[in-house]
A and B are shown apart, each in its own frame.
Chain A
């Protein structure tokens, strides 16, 4: 049972982190070579599919951790307990981040501009889209940074914790 849980746990973190890294290091640079309209279409389709993979990965990682880690050692007086709680906090941050990206930040990138908008309104709408793109960039990079820390903390638990 421990092997199966360990396998699910490792695979879930790998899917989550690897997916985010691929988005940042592969998909983002490729966007330079495409017209904005096409980027928009592909981005939207990818986002709809990827959010379920990310959420499922986090759910499995959280569930497997809850089952495999000994709850009796979750005390703030030990390095193991502090690290385990920090892992839980990172996990909660990641879950919040994915949901924010999936249902707030990502849809904001793909809002269509009404053809009847005046010049000033259109400029304002474009400005909002630019801000949404920047917000998404910041969120995705923060998400990768938190995931990297979470994986480091998780890995350190086998050696007694890092904090």
Chain B
């Protein structure tokens, strides 16, 4: 594969990952989520749970694709010299790239919190043997978890949009930081 073909392929994968992450999050948070309020809560819960399960697979795929396609892109652009030695920390290009990597790591951590901490709390059912107080307490835990998922999703979206801005500054300028 020529350098140019590799560059197109890597850029394409990178943009697809951005599209799935950012576009998918906007669709889930600002289109699907508000629409859930028009159906009974039990159905809304089914929609929320099933859609989140499927969307998380896409999110993790996109998060995995970011560094893979990013590295491919970096090497196909022959930009290695611009980051040799301490240039990673001293040049605008290096600092912007470093900023993108750090923010990507934040997205991964937030994704892990949603997947392994908050989603299991939402998936547990309120059981009748626990009694009325138990069910109410369980519902309160679920509500709190749902609110936290929503908050983290919105924070992630802001971070992802900022990463896109940093990426655009690398592609169309010399970096932003």
Where the two chains meet, the residues of A that have a C-beta atom closer than 8 Å to any C-beta of B are 2-7, 9-11, 13-23, 25-27, 29-30, 33-35, 38, 41-42, 45-46, 49-50, 53, 68, 151-152, 155-156, 158-160, 162
Contacts and interface: CB of A to CB of B under 8 A. Distances in A.
A16 B19 CA distance: 8
A17 B30 CA distance: 15
Nearest to A48: B35
Interface of B: 4, 7-8, 11-12, 15-16, 18-28, 30-32, 34-36, 38-40, 43, 46-47, 50-51, 54-55, 58, 161, 164-165, 167-169, 171-173, 176
Contacts of A155: 8, 11-12, 15
B28 to A, nearest CB: 6
* A3, A13, A14 pick with most chain B CB within 10 angstroms: A14
A144 B16 CA distance: 12
Contact of A14 (B23, B46, B169): B23
B18 A14 contact: yes
Given A14-B19, A22-B23, A151 B12 contact: yes
Given A10-B168, A26-B51, A159-B7, A42 B38 contact: yes
A34 B172 contact: no
A22 B40 CA distance: 23
Contact of A26 (B21, B22, B28, B35): B28
B20 A18 contact: yes
B168 A7 contact: yes
Nearest to B28: A22
B166 to A, nearest CB: 9
Given A30-B51, A41-B38, A151-B12, A13 B19 contact: yes
Contacts of A38: 39-40, 43
B171 to A, nearest CB: 6
Contacts of B12: 151-152, 155
Contacts of B58: 21-22, 25-26
B23 A3 contact: no
Contacts of B28: 22, 26
A46 B37 CA distance: 11
Contact of A46 (B11, B31, B171, B172): B31
A33 B26 CA distance: 23
B158 to A, nearest CB: 12
A14 B25 CA distance: 10
A45 B34 contact: yes
Nearest to A19: B27
Given A152-B8, A158-B171, 17 more contacts: A11-B161, A14-B23, A16-B23, A17-B23, A18-B25, A20-B23, A21-B19, A25-B54, A26-B51, A26-B58, A27-B32, A34-B43, A42-B47, A46-B32, A50-B27, A53-B27, A68-B172
A21 B21 CA distance: 10
Contact of A18 (B21, B40, B46, B167): B21
Given A18-B27, A26-B58, A34-B43, A151 B38 contact: no
